[in-house]
Amino acid sequence: MRMRKTVSIAILAAAAFGLWLGYSATSEDASASLEAKQSNGPGITRESPNPFLSSYIVDPRNQIALKDTGLNEQRDDPQMLNKSYAASELVNRGTVDYFRYLQTEFHAGATLQANTEAIRQHLFSTLQPEDAEKLFALYKKFVDFEYSIGDKAKDWKMPDSPKETLELIGKMQKHQQQTFGEETADLLFGGELKTMEYTARKSGILNDKVAGGAEKEALLNKLTQDMFGISGDKLDATKNPYNLFEEKLLLYKNDLDKLEPPEAEKLIKQFRAKYLPASANSQ
């Protein structure tokens, strides 16, 4: 019997990553974009704070490193968690990954209770009894939380804009903190929620219908620095080159739409040569 995935995480992941790839600006988002420029007198404009570069939700003090989020495509193999967990702090940013690894490893029982008992036995065979008892108690609370969140999610509207996704992330964080306490909730779910927050904010920037590519790139760089500091410089290094190419097309979509077809194709070829040189050379 395989444990179902967290309903809340599925909702947020679909919202955040789906918006990045296929979001169309709503009238509300368009208004927010236009209001980002406010008149300050004849011939003078003042840039107001971009709505996606303010009021950070999950980690305003930048304590969750890039390596501990889903944006890091080079995270440790989950199977290695079993070997290294006993030497780490009992509750840490890898604890949920470890719990899900256990659910995948011990799922052959006929009932949920049988699988849970197998996990209990495993913990007591690999940890000191006191640590095993504490971690198993947290695991049971985590499982109860996963199942109960399905009912809670019925009251949450499925978001269809980056702004609504950010609002849902805030609700999710509050519910997690009410269940586990602020510190433990941050350790358990902070990396996942920060991944989703970054992706939602990035979606809002990428799919802006007004800004040009250079402006979007500056906003995106600011977002990455705000949320990850100097380690944000390593973000592109972990990405697939084709994903970087597709992202570049989104960044410059407004510019490409204004160009004549030959000029647009020329710019696209430049991007392809930068990110997909083998593909560009074969054409």
Match 């947290």 to its residue by tokens: 138
DSSP assignment, residue 47? E
What is the model's pTM? 0.80
- For residue 195, what are the contacts with CB-CB under 8 A and spacing of at least 6? 16, 69, 70, 71
Query: What is the DSSP code string of 47-100?
Result: EPPPGGGSS--S-TT--S-GGGSTT-TTPPPHHHHHHHGGGS-SS-TTHHHHHH
| C-alpha separations of 76 from 18, 33, 94 in Å | 25, 39, 10
Residue type, 278: A
Which of these, 62, 81, 60, lies nearest to 230 by C-alpha position? 62
Q: Report whether pLDDT(79) > 90.
A: no
Closest to 64 measured CA to CA, from 190, 241, 188:
190
* Model pLDDT for residues 154-208, shown as the tens digit of each residue: 788 888 899 999 999 999 999 999 999 999 999 999 999 999 999 999 999 999 9
**Residue 235: CB partners within 8 Å, gap ≥ 6?**
66, 71, 224, 228
Q: What are phi and psi of 31, to 5 degrees?
A: -65, -40
Query: Mean pLDDT in the chain?
Result: 80
Asked whether 142 and 9 are in contact (CB, 8 A), the reply is: no
pLDDT > 70 fraction of the chain, expressed in percent and rounded:
75
- Listed residue (89, 227, 92) closest to 169, CA to CA: 227
Q: In angstroms, how far is the first alpha carbon of the chain from the final one?
A: 50
User: Whole-angstrom Cα distance, residue 99 to residue 171?
Assistant: 23
Those residues with Cβ within 8 angstroms of residue 200's Cβ, 6 or more apart along the chain or in another chain: 15, 16, 19, 162, 165, 166, 169
Does 40 score more than 50 pLDDT? no
